[in-house]
Amino acid sequence: PAAHTADLVVFGGTGDLSMRKLLPALYHSDRDGRLSPETRVIALSRGGLTDADFRGKVDAQVRDVVPVDDHAMWQRFLGRLHHLTVDVGGQDRTGWDALRATLAEDRDRVFYLASPPRTFGPFCREVDRAGLVTPRSRVVLEKPLGHDLPSAQRINDEVGAIFDEHQIFRIDHYLGKETVQNLLVLRFANAFLEPIWNSLWIDHVQITAAETVGTPGRRGYYDHAGALRDMVQNHLLQLLTLTAMEPPARNDREAIRDEKVKVLQALRPITGGEVGRFTVRGQYTAADGMAGYLEEPGSTPPTESSERVETFTAIRAEIRNWRWAGVPFYLRTGKRLPNRRSEIVVQFKDVPHSIFPGGSPNRLVLRLQPEEGIELHIMAKEPGAGEVSLKPVPLSLNFGETFPARVPEAYERLLSDVLAGNPTLFMRRDEVEAAWRWIDPILDAWRSSPELPEPYPAGTTGPAGAHELLGRSGRAWHEEE
């Protein structure tokens, strides 16, 4: 189908996200012929840049992170880019008037807010005041969507006063990752998994997003976020919903999101004294030449709240419904861990009755990164004429090897969906709020606890508590076995 022609208006368009993710993703889409020739990108900032200045900046900063093998193509891409200076909440209307004059009446308009959440409401009001909202307009909100349930509700109310829910696209870039979309295909386009995808056959699930990076230069944001808000409220809970949801009746935006929200609503609340038992917090300390969280270089010095910020968290979650009762979902994420690895591990139960010595239960591993793939660990007989000897072996699908085409980045997929008006892979209001409703009591208990996060040396697998969280029920994190 012909690509949609749209004007993509990026607020915060000269910022880090735009330079690192959005513009590279758009360039890739352009290069693959998935961007309509007339689609334009209009970056808004306070910076006073001309189109030529902005193109020069993109040329200098983005060219190195994308494969520019075709000069003419790159020039054509730069030609789509424009810049306007706007003042949010101020008296100066010049920028907004210029934007109105620039936007084409007969196109879709996408307002992409790559800016802090406190700007979402004011920006939407400005766009409305300038008379820019048409029925063919959409708005894209970047995370974090608030810092707790009340603030998320406030943002949703403010944006919802200007745009209808079907026009609001809340980004969680994990939903754009190939393996994440593949999870739905794996579960619902194959017959063999669904009958055993329940508490009868599954012992527990582990969802890990481990990163090697620390937080240098991000203190201003991270001190107020921490791993729970930064990664669990959104990315990890989204992976949990896709793993645990019931089969939807149709591959349809609302049908899928309806099932996802039911999972979030079924999460057993972790409150008060239970928080200490079912959650773990850690903070990395200096080791191996790497700075600790408190010593990371940044624009602001560490404060008292820096000491309380978790750069690691592990949680034992439970879903209260027929399918999952009694099956723990262990969530874990952290900075400065030894490897960058994100995966969903579904650990099956042992066979009901074993006739061979030495077997171990099956395990399905869905790897999101670094290399996207799926592995099913099965038991096989080691060749040999002597005693039967069992060995766990992986049946594996490596996407890179099986599908030679380049695997698109999450943002490419999500931007195409926004331009095409398809919200399936975006979070609906009720999803975001249900996620906060589960997160808030954990935050409250951490806040009122006299304890600080457990220290772990940078480059190690997290604090001891994370290992005990599984160890006390005889389980272990995947890489420890």
List residues binding ligand BG6 (CB under 6 A): 143, 209, 211, 230, 342
How far is the CA of 39 from the CAs of 6, 33, 35, 107, in angstroms? Answer: 5, 12, 7, 9
Helix (H) or strand (E) holding 14: none
Query: Least separation, in Å, of the C-beta of 177 and ligand BG6?
Result: 7
By beta-carbon proximity to ligand BG6, the closer residue of 49 and 232 is 232
Residue 214 or residue 465: which is nearer to ligand BG6 going by CB? 214
Give min distance, CB of 371 to ligand BG6, in A: 13
Of residues 179 and 279, the one with the C-beta less far from ligand BG6: 179
Here the contacts of 249-256 (C-beta below 8 Å, separation 24 or greater) are 252/424, 253/422, 253/423, 253/424, 256/184, 256/424
Rounded to 5 degrees, what angle do the CA atoms 144, 226, 297 make? Answer: 105
Query: Residue 316 forms beta bridges with which residues?
Result: 330
Provide the minimum distance between the beta carbon of 95 and ligand BG6 in the complex, in angstroms, as a whole number: 29
Of 98, 88, 81, 10, the C-alpha closest to 46 is: 88
In whole angstroms, give the CA distance from residue 22 to residue 207.
27
Closest CB to ligand BG6 among residues 342, 347:
342
Token pair recorded at residue 277: 């038992």
Cβ of residue 368: shortest distance to ligand BG6, in angstroms? 7
Q: Please give the single-letter amino acid code of residue 291.
A: A
Q: Considering the complex, what minimum distance in angstroms separates the CB of residue 283 from ligand BG6?
A: 15
Which residue, judged by CB position, is nearest to ligand BG6 in the bound state? 230
E strands in 106-263: 108-113, 137-141, 168-170, 202-210
Q: How many CB atoms lie within 10 A of CB 144?
A: 18
For residue 46, say whether it is annotated as part of any ligand binding site.
Answer: yes
* Tokens representing residue 219 in the block: 């203190």
Q: Per the annotation, does 82 bind a ligand?
A: no
Closer CB to ligand BG6, residue 93 or residue 478? 478
Catalytic residue numbers? Answer: 235
Cβ closest to ligand BG6, residue 54 vs residue 284 = 284
Q: Tell me whether the omega of the peptide bond preceding residue 297 falls within 30 degrees of 0, making it cis.
A: no
Cβ atoms of 314 and 469 within 8 Å: the answer is: yes
Confirm whether residue 57 is marked as ligand binding: no
Does 173 appear as a known binding residue?
yes
Is 87 annotated as belonging to a binding site?
Answer: yes
Is 143 labelled as part of a ligand binding site? Answer: yes
- 68 labelled as ligand-binding? no
Q: How many helices (H) and strands (E) does the chain have?
A: 17, 15
State the binding site for NADP(+): 46, 87-88, 143
State the binding site: 46, 87-88, 143, 173, 177, 211, 230, 335
State the binding site for substrate: 173, 177, 211, 230, 335
